[in-house]
Amino acid sequence: MTHLDFSVNVDHVATLRNARGGTFPCPVEAARIAVEAGADGVTMHLREDRRHIRDRDVERVRAEIAAPLNFEMAATEEMVAFAERIRPPYCCLVPEKRAELTTEGGLDVLRPGPFLKQAIARLRLAGVRVSIFIEADPAQIEAAAALGAQAIELHTGTYAEGPVEHRAAQLARLKAGAAAAKAAGLLCHAGHGLNYDTVADIARMPEVTEVSIGHFLISQSVFEGLGATVRRFRAIMDAARNI
């Protein structure tokens, strides 16, 4: 099977930095270490409330890290204008609510806000490849394609974080979603809640071209080291794809 791109989300390095209000640990340094250890890209989510990643972190990753940035953002005027300025190669549109702990569900593209279509068109015009974080629902996937997205990111949270006895059914839903994405001519990414135990099932899906992993990876690196954690994920994914 083909290589699975692995984008490391460094948001929670910024969470730790912000806990003490200083400059350490630095998410850009984490991005550098992750890429040196075999990550194919870096993911950052610039939230409206700037609770972890800040504007300057994104600017620095664009300037200092050669690996592609997957820029997660809400479809708002502020974020589209920011993306037009820094021109990340990839952008993933996510829903955002101030009170949530993390991105709680996929974007509902069957009921898109008035700005979504324009946001996608503007990002594409700026040379950004647009992905939308959605549930593995064929109707959502077709709607994402109709809106002009080039990729979707399947929300793996219900599969990865739900009860173990529901995993087989959730995995079947994700597989059907990946097949629907391919049929709609979309690239298929996946992410949310993945860890050493759950990533292999996702990596075995041939339609999935990229995974994005953050919270478990950054947390596990407290015990194992960031480079070692990235290398272990890489080995699990490569084994799952028979590489």
Question: Residues interacting with ligand PXP, by CB under 6 A?
Answer: 9, 11, 45, 72, 92, 94, 102-103, 133, 153, 191-194, 212-216
How far is CA 223 from each of CA 26, 37, 50, rounded to the nearest angstrom? Answer: 18, 16, 27
Asked if residue 3 belongs to a known ligand binding site, the reply is no
72 is catalytic: yes
The single residue of 96, 135, 153, 192 carrying the catalytic annotation is: 192
- Per the CB < 8 A criterion, the answer to whether 31 and 68 are in contact is no
Nearer to ligand PXP, 216 or 242 (CB): 216
Active site residue 192: yes
> Which pair of tokens denotes residue 117?
């279509």
Considering the candidates 45, 96, 153, 155, report the single residue annotated as catalytic: 45
Least distance CB 211 / ligand PXP (angstroms): 8
Contact 102, 133 (CB under 8 A): no
The runs of H, that is alpha helices, within the chain are 11-20, 27-36, 55-64, 77-86, 116-125, 138-146, 157-161, 167-183, 199-203, 215-224, 226-240
Amino acid at position 80, single letter: V
Q: Is 142 a catalytic residue?
A: no
Q: Is 102 annotated as a binding residue?
A: yes
Q: Which is nearer to ligand PXP, 33 or 242 (CB)?
A: 33
Annotated binding-site members for 1-deoxy-D-xylulose 5-phosphate: 11-12, 47, 52, 102
Annotated binding-site members: 9, 11-12, 20, 47, 52, 102, 193, 214-215
Catalytic (active-site) positions: 45, 72, 192
